[in-house]
Structure 1
Amino acid sequence: MKPAAAGVAFIAMATVPLSAPGTGPRAGAGAPLVIAHRGASRYAPENTLAAVDAAYDRGLTWVENDVQRTKDGQLVVLHDTTLERTTDVEKIFPGRAPWRVRDFTAAEISRLDAGSWFGPRFAGERVPTLADYLRRLDHNDQRLLLEIKSPKSYPGIEAGVVRELRRRGWLDRAHVRSRLVVQSFCVKCVKAVHGLVPQVRTGILGSPRLAELARYARFADEINPRMSALSSRWIKAVHRLRGPHGRPLEVYAWGVGKNTGVREARARGIEGVIT
Structure 2
Amino acid sequence: MTTITNLDRRPDGQRAGSGLPLVVAHRGNSSVAPENTLAALDSAWRAGADVVEVDLQLTKDGVAVVIHDERVDRTTNGAGRADQLTAAQVAGLDAGDWFSDHFRGQQVPTAEDLLAFFVGHPGVCLLAELKGTWGTEDVRRVTEVVERVGLAERTVVQSFDVGTVKALRDVAPELPRGLLVDALPEDLIALCRELRVMALNPSGLLLRREPDLVDALHGEGLRTMVWTLNEPAHWASAVAAGVDGIITDRPDRLRGWLDAAHDLPGGR
- TM exceeds 0.5? yes
Aligned match for 2:138, one of 157, 164, 167: 157
Number of the residue aligned with 2:151? 170
Structure 1 length-normalised TM: 0.80
TM-superposed CA distance for 1:104, in Å, is 0.8
Number of the residue aligned with 1:13? none
CA distance in 1: counterparts of 2:127 and 2:73, whole angstroms: 25
Number of the residue aligned with 1:4? none
Structure 2 length-normalised TM: 0.82
Number of the residue aligned with 1:253? 226
TM-superposed CA distance for 1:228, in Å, is 1.0
TM-superposed CA distance for 1:184, in Å, is 0.3
Aligned match for 1:226, one of 158, 183, 203: 203
CA distance in 1: counterparts of 2:54 and 2:48, whole angstroms: 17
TM-superposed CA distance for 1:235, in Å, is 2.3
Q: Counterparts in 2 of 1:65-214, with a 5 A limit?
A: 65-90=54-79, 99-141=80-122, 142-151=124-133, 156-171=137-152, 176=153, 179-206=154-181, 207-209=183-185, 211-214=187-190
Distance 1:253 1:144, change over 3 A: same
Number of the residue aligned with 2:215? 236
TM-superposed CA distance for 1:102, in Å, is 0.8
TM-superposed CA distance for 1:256, in Å, is 1.8
CA distance in 2: counterparts of 1:21 and 1:233, whole angstroms: 24
Q: Which runs of 5+ in 1 are unaligned?
A: 1-16, 91-98, 242-247
Number of the residue aligned with 1:96? none
- Counterpart contact for 2:75–2:96, Cα < 8 Å: yes
TM-superposed CA distance for 1:170, in Å, is 2.6
CA distance in 2: counterparts of 1:20 and 1:130, whole angstroms: 19
CA distance in 2: counterparts of 1:121 and 1:88, whole angstroms: 15
Distance 1:20 1:51, change over 3 A: closer
Number of the residue aligned with 1:12? none
Range with bigger deviation, 38-47 or 261-270: 261-270
Q: Which runs of 5+ in 2 are unaligned?
A: 10-14, 249-268
Q: Indicate the RMSD between aligned Cα atoms, in angstroms.
A: 2.2
Question: Percent identity of the aligned residues?
Answer: 37
TM-superposed CA distance for 1:84, in Å, is 0.4
Q: Which deviations, in whole Å up to 9, do the C-alpha atoms of 1:216-241 show, x marking residues without a partner?
A: 13411110010111122322222211
CA distance in 2: counterparts of 1:124 and 1:116, whole angstroms: 7
The 3-state SS of whatever aligns with 1:224 is strand
Q: Which deviations, in whole Å up to 9, do the C-alpha atoms of 1:68-124 show, x marking residues without a partner?
A: 11111111100001000000014xxxxxxxx00011111111111100110110001
TM-superposed CA distance for 1:22, in Å, is 7.6
Q: Which deviations, in whole Å up to 9, do the C-alpha atoms of 1:226-261 show, x marking residues without a partner?
A: 0111122322222211xxxxxx10111003242334
Greater share of helix residues, 1 or 2?
A: 2
